[in-house]
Amino acid sequence: MDLLLKKTKELEMQIDEYLDMIVKGALTFRTSIRHYLNGQLDRFSDDRHNIDEIESKGDSLRRAIETKLYLETLIPEFRGDVLGLLESADKVLNMMADTLAQFDVEMPKILEELKPLYIELTDASTFAVEAMVTAIRSYFTELNKVRDNINKAMYYEKETDKISEKIKRTVFQTSIDLCFKIHMRYFAYHIELIADEAEDVCDRLSIATIKRHL
């Protein structure tokens, strides 16, 4: 991060570490949904605890970054944008942890024929998160690459819309009880929301990038 944070090495390392945690959260989420769908509930439980730890460490690190930015008056002209990006990115990590918690508590029954679509949905949603993180890194290092990485995140977000709609249409064409239909739709919706949240971060990032160019 030698562009915006060239004089603040410690802050650079902390932001890098924080973004790494979001990526780890996305990887854990992706693996955990596979474990759940494959009936590997012990491994799913381990994943659930791992993402909770990642979320907790991420919250602590984000607060440390915020304190440093305020107390040491670092990058004052862009501080508000950086804080806003970190806080909105934190919502993505929290949403992944919360969704796994919902799976753990409610234990939804997913039709066997729909499991590949849930995996596709999870992949697309977490790919959007990873592209979001890359876009944020670009904001600090290579501003000219922010737009390309945002476009990748937007692409995957649109893919989640398509896959989620396919799941919902398939579910409501089956003859199973309505309560099971609603339950499967609910969990598809929440996986899809992770990509929507990543898109919101990218919208904020687009504005922050424009301000850097001014």
Q: Please state the length of the chain.
A: 214
Residue 67's pLDDT band (cuts 50, 70, 90): confident
Rg from Cα positions in the chain: 18
Structure tokens at 6: 């060239």
Please tell me the CATH superfamily of domain 9-213, with its number: Phosphate transport system protein phou homolog 2; domain 2 (1.20.58.220)
> What letters, b where the CB count within 10 A reaches 16 and e where it falls short, cover 3-23?
ebbeebeebbebbeebbebbb
pLDDT range class, residue 6, cuts 50, 70, 90: low
Task: Tell me how far apart the alpha carbons of residues 214 and 209 are, in angstroms, rounded to a whole number.
Answer: 9
Rounded CA-CA distance 166/178 in Å is 17
pTM of the model: 0.93
- DSSP-assigned states of every residue in the chain: -TTTSTT-HHHHHHHHHHHHHHHHHHHHHHHHHHHHHTT-HHHHHHHHHHHHHHHHHHHHHHHHHHHHHHHTT-STTTHHHHHHHHHHHHHHHHHHHHHHHHHHHH-----GGGHHHHHHHHHHHHHHHHHHHHHHHHHHH-GGGHHHHHHHHHHHHHHHHHHHHHHHHHHTTS-S-HHHHHHHHHHHHHHHHHHHHHHHHHHHHHHHHHHHH-
pLDDT at residue number 4:
55
Distance CA 104, CA 32 (A): 11
pLDDT, one tens digit per residue, over 169-187 is: 999 999 899 999 999 999 9
